[in-house]
Amino acid sequence: MNLRRILNLAIAFAAVVTAAVVCVVAASFAVYALAKVWLGPAGGAAVVVGVFALFAVIVAVLATRKAAPKPTPGAPPDEAVVDRLIGLAKEKPLIALGAAAAATAAAVAVLVRNPALITALVSAFLAGSSSAKSGK
């Protein structure tokens, strides 16, 4: 592929994405205007979120339904998810480390934004350790 063809494909892709974004924005304004009449501004916004969340779920289901291979008769069953994750971590340790770091960062962000969770976790931990000592 030459550079001109790659640039033409990139421009075409950008045009399609831009058209899709414009259609989604226009549709969301239309749904909001229709729902606002009966439910008010907050209700209209909630309806827009619900409609487009449902749309996203439908698109995701349609996009992934053919991705799953059909099992062949007599084939061994798939290995468990945990076994596949461990195998992936053994094959690509840097990716596994990055995923673990991202998950840890997400957990820390949730805990920082909601200090009540920290209190609940500490009290559950202390309650669990005190019941373990009293059971001995």
What is the per-residue pLDDT across 75-107, written as a single tens digit (0 to 9) for each?
666 667 777 777 877 888 777 777 777 777 777
In this prediction, residue 67 carries a pLDDT of 58
User: Whole-angstrom Cα distance, residue 122 to residue 19?
Assistant: 50
The whole-model pTM stands at 0.42
Q: Where are the domains of the chain?
A: 1-71, 79-136
Question: What number of other Cβ atoms are within 10 A of residue 45's Cβ?
Answer: 16
Q: What is the pLDDT of residues 52-77, one digit of tens each?
A: 888 888 888 877 776 566 667 766 66
Phi, psi of 69 (to 5 degrees): -70, 145
Helix/strand/coil for 65: coil
